[in-house]
Amino acid sequence: MKAGMSLDDPSSKRQAYRLKKQENREELKHVRIDASAKTEKMDLPRKRFYRQRAHSNPFSDHQLEYPVNPDEMDWQKLYPHFFDEATNRMTKQVTIADIGCGFGGLLIDLSPEFPENLILGMEIRVQVTNYVEDRIIALRTNHADNNSFQNINVLRGNAMKFLPNFFHKSQLEKMFFCFPDPHFKQRKHKARIITNTLLSEYAYALKEGGIIYTITDVLDLHQWMAKHLEEHPLFERLSSDWEDQDKCVQIMRNATEEGKKVERKKGDKYVACFVRIPNPEIV
Ligand SMILES: C[S@@+](CC[C@H](N)C(=O)[O-])C[C@H]1O[C@@H](n2cnc3c(N)ncnc32)[C@H](O)[C@@H]1O
Of 181, 225, 264, the residue with max ligand 1 atoms within 8 A of its CB, to mutate for a pocket test, comes to: 181
Residue 35: what pLDDT? 79
Residue 4 has pLDDT above 80, yes or no: no
Give the Å distance between the CA of 177 and the centre of ligand 1.
8
Q: Which residue has the higher pLDDT, 138 or 35?
A: 138
Q: One of 8, 181, 220, 244 is an active-site residue; which one?
A: 181
pLDDT number for residue 36: 79
Q: Which helix (H) or strand (E) holds 140?
A: helix 126-142
Lowest pLDDT segment from 12-16, 99-103, 150-154, 246-250 = 12-16
pLDDT value of position 112: 98
Residues 6+ apart with CB under 8 A from 239: none
For residues 119 and 99, the answer to whether their CB atoms sit within 8 Å is no
The number of the ligand 1 atom at minimal distance from the alpha carbon of 176 is 6
**C-alpha of residue 280 to centroid of ligand 1, in Å:** 32
**What are the two backbone dihedrals, phi and then psi, of residue 18, each rounded to the nearest 5 degrees?**
-65, -40
Sign of CA pseudo-dihedral 222, 160, 260, 184: negative
Q: For residues 243 and 179, what is the distance between their CA atoms, to the nearest angstrom?
A: 17
Query: What CA–CA distance (Å, rounded) separates 248 from 255?
Result: 10
Mean pLDDT lowest among 38-42, 98-102, 183-187, 265-269: 38-42
Q: Which amino acids are annotated as binding site, given as ranges?
A: 100, 123-124, 158-159, 178, 256-258
State residue 63's pLDDT score.
78
How far is the centre of ligand 1, averaged over its atoms, from the C-alpha of 3 (Å)? 34
Strand, helix or coil for residue 33: coil
Concerning whether 181 is annotated as a catalytic residue, the answer is: yes
Q: For residue 180, give the ligand 1 atom closest to its CA.
A: 10
Residues 6+ apart with CB under 8 A from 269: 215, 216, 217, 253, 259, 262
Tens digits of residue pLDDT in 159-205:
999 999 999 999 999 999 999 999 999 998 999 999 999 999 999 99
Give pLDDT, residue 3: 54
**Residue 7: pLDDT above 90?**
no
pLDDT at 59 > cutoff 80: no
In the structure, what pLDDT confidence band is assigned to residue 31 with cuts at 50, 70 and 90? confident
- Of 123, 131, 252, best ligand 1 pocket probe by most atoms within 8 Å of the beta carbon: 123
Output the ligand 1 site: residues, CB below 6 A. Answer: 56, 58, 100-102, 122-125, 128, 158-160, 178-181, 193, 256-259
State the pLDDT confidence band at 62, using cuts at 50, 70 and 90: low
Q: Which residue has the higher pLDDT, 26 or 263?
A: 263
Ligand 1 nearest-atom number relative to CA 215: 8
Rounded mean pLDDT, 256-281: 96
Beta strand extents in the chain (DSSP E only) = 83-84, 89-90, 94-99, 118-123, 152-156, 172-178, 206-216, 235-237, 270-276
Q: Torsion angle of alpha carbons 77, 78, 81, 83, nearest 10°? A: -50
CA angle centred on 221, ends 61 and 102, rounded to 5°: 50
Comparing 61-65, 96-100, 116-120, which segment has the lowest mean pLDDT?
61-65
What is the reported pLDDT for 8? 64
Q: Which residues of 143-175 are buried (b: 16+ CB within 10 A; e: fewer)?
A: bbeeebbbbbbbbbbbbbbbbeebbeeebbbbb
Instruction: Map residue 138 onto helix, strand or coil.
Output: helix
Summarize the confidence of residues 198-222 as an average pLDDT. 98
Atom of ligand 1 nearest to the CA of 56: 25
Give the pLDDT band of residue 66 (cuts 50, 70, 90).
very high
Separation of alpha carbons 135 and 131, rounded Å: 6
| Distance of CA 1 from the midpoint of ligand 1 (Å) | 29
3-state secondary structure of 173: strand
Whether this prediction's pTM lies above 0.75 is answered by: yes
Report the alpha-carbon distance of residue 34 to residue 10 in Å, rounded. 35
Under a CB-based contact definition with an 8 Å cutoff, are residues 254 and 108 in contact? no
Q: Which of 147, 115, 156, 195 is nearest to 33 (CA)?
A: 147
Binding positions for S-adenosyl-L-methionine? 100, 123-124, 158-159, 178, 256-258
**Nearest residue (CA) to ligand 1, atom 4:** 102
Structural domains present in the chain:
11-276 (3.40.50.150)
Q: What's the mean pLDDT in 113-134?
A: 97
For the chain, the average pLDDT equals 93
